[in-house]
């Protein structure tokens, strides 16, 4: 198994697809996706375009759908939800499909949607993702961070490092054997330094600071937890993630 980390969707190779792709948007899209599926949501369908989201979701009965829209960290007017995982309670999402579009996370998912195995990962479901990799042993794995509008983000990179670090702990692989690019080594180093204070790292991160200005400290606290949900969001059809 060779692991590759790409800090943004734009940095991924365009001429090939990996055997397994993992989209990461810790703050907050993939954390929200994992939370919805853990709470009994039927599926999560992702869109980069808000108009397309509305058009497709209109075909679903109102009681079977929820629309989540986020731009710049804030909720899109007219949508039931923004991008806070804390709003995705079992009472609200049970048996419903979440139609979601966010600034960064949905772009990452769509960039690698041609991979035969596409997962959504966050810190909160790291262990489930690692277990899948150890069981399936895909030859090539891309971990694709969402970043922020095309730029590097600390929180997605530390999550990539958390996944790689856990694989190293549970296998006989050396970092040199596992790492397909330098970004893997740097991600492991970042996680190793901050693993006991991930919330502190989020306070350093530009998007963490953006969310703090929007009074989202509780979201940061929730998303900085590790291995609290045993749920594996996996793509079943293009753009549709269900519990694996």
Confidence at residue 199, expressed as pLDDT on a 0 to 100 scale: 98
DSSP the chain: -EEEEESSGGGS-SS---SEEEEE-TTTHHHHHHHHHHTT-SEEEE-S-HHHHHHHHTTS-GGGEEEEEEETTEEPTT-SB-S-GGG--HHHHTT-EEEEE-SSHHHHHHHTTTSSEEEEE-GGGHHHHHHHHHHH--SEEEEEE-TBTTB--HHHHHHHHHHHHHHHHHSS--HHHHBSSHHHHHHHHHHHHHTT-HHHHHHHSHHHHHHHHTT-HHHHHHHT--S-----EEEEETTEEEE-
pLDDT in tens for each of the 244 residues of the chain?
A: 999 999 999 999 999 999 999 999 999 999 999 999 999 999 999 998 999 999 999 999 999 999 999 998 889 999 999 999 999 999 999 999 999 999 888 889 999 999 999 999 999 999 999 999 999 999 999 999 999 888 999 999 999 999 999 999 999 999 999 999 999 999 999 999 999 999 999 999 999 999 999 999 999 999 999 999 999 999 999 999 999 9
Domain boundaries, the chain: 2-243
The pLDDT assigned to 134 comes to 98
Q: pLDDT at position 64, please?
A: 97
| pLDDT value at residue 141 | 98
Q: At the topology level of CATH, where does 2-243 sit?
A: putative 2-phosphosulfolactate phosphatase (3.90.1560)
What pLDDT shows up at residue 222?
Answer: 98
pLDDT of residue 103: 85
Position 73 scores a pLDDT of: 87
Task: Return the pLDDT at 75.
Answer: 92
pLDDT of residue 198: 98
């Amino acid at each position: 198994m060779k692991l590759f980390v790409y800090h943004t969707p734009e940095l991924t190779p365009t001429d090939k697809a990996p055997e397994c792709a993992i989209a990461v948007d810790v703050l907050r899209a993939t954390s929200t996706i994992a939370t919805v599926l853990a709470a009994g949501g039927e599926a999560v369908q992702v869109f980069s375009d808000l108009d397309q989201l509305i058009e497709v979701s209109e075909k679903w009965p109102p009681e079977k759908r929820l629309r989540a829209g986020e731009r710049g960290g804030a909720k899109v007017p007219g949508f039931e939800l923004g991008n806070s995982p804390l709003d995705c309670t079992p009472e609200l999402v049970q048996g419903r499909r979440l139609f979601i579009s966010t600034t960064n996370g949905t772009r990452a998912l769509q960039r690698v949607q041609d991979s035969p195995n596409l997962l959504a990962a966050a810190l909160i479901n790291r262990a489930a993702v690692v277990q899948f990799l150890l069981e399936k042993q895909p030859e090539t794995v891309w971990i694709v961070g969402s970043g922020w509008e095309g730029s590097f983000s600390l929180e997605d990179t530390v999550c990539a490092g958390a996944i790689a670090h856990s694989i190293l702990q549970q296998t006989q692989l050396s970092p040199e054997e596992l790492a397909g690019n330098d970004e893997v080594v740097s991600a492991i180093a970042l996680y190793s330094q901050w693993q006991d204070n991930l919330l502190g790292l989020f306070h350093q991160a530009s998007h963490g600071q953006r969310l703090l200005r929007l009074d989202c400290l509780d979201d940061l606290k929730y998303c900085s937890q590790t291995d609290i949900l045993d749920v594996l969001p996996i793509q079943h059809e293009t753009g549709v993630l269900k519990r694996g």
